Chain A
């Protein structure tokens, strides 16, 4: 049973517009969430994270929103750039459990069109 779900396999947006990537989780013990970006032939790279004590974290063009009651988080990229085209993975961890065990979603392929 998938505990972290990214229900959109792909998303296409126009350059300059907002990209919104969504992630849902089922395990209420998850209390720390991360987004990773992956280009072809490269490993995932860390993008941004959020703790469950917050509902928003911002880093430049990237903002992550967390809705604990809905068990939902989203990554907003604004403005989107062609270089943002990549696969985006959502990951979650229960910091009270194994501190090493990230649970990943399947990823969403974002394409930003010039």
Chain B
């Protein structure tokens, strides 16, 4: 595997379900990101981890809970989501905070019913 991978690629969940999105980067980077892309909206930064510490939390509702167990893996735990949370969730990584170029995974298309 190379680059940034995300699983699952598609997810349908009910509002009472609990699910997790997984991201893995194979680039040796130190920073990892979660973005949300809703229809007709720009990419919105949700969370940033650098060396497994959270360095950005962009006023994201608590029903989204990130976890970064090591610099290669990033999770987004989802619980009691709302239909408006349906979106494309993108993971990205970068070397560190001085490298502005971010490498993105293919995304997870989430539908909340």
Contacts and interface: CB of A to CB of B under 8 A. Distances in A.
B104 A45 contact: yes
B61 interface: no
Contacts of A106: 40-42
Contact of B43 (A89, A95, A98): A89
Contacts of A43: 4, 6, 90, 92, 104-107
**Chain A interface main SS type:** loop
A91 to B, nearest CB: 8
Interface residues of B, number: 26
Nearest to B90: A43
Given A102-B45, A106-B41, A106-B42, A46 B101 contact: yes
19 contacts: A43-B4, A43-B90, A43-B104, A43-B105, A43-B107, A46-B102, A89-B43, A93-B100, A98-B55, A99-B98, A100-B45, A100-B55, A101-B48, A101-B56, A102-B45, A102-B100, A102-B102, A106-B40, A106-B41
Interface residues of A, number: 25
Interface string A78-114: 0000000000010001010011111111110000000
Contacts of B104: 36, 43-45
Interface string A21-62: 000000000001010100001111110010000000000000
B50 interface: yes
B42 A95 contact: no
Contacts of B42: 2, 4, 89, 103-107
Contact of B100 (A4, A41, A99, A105): A99
B31 interface: yes
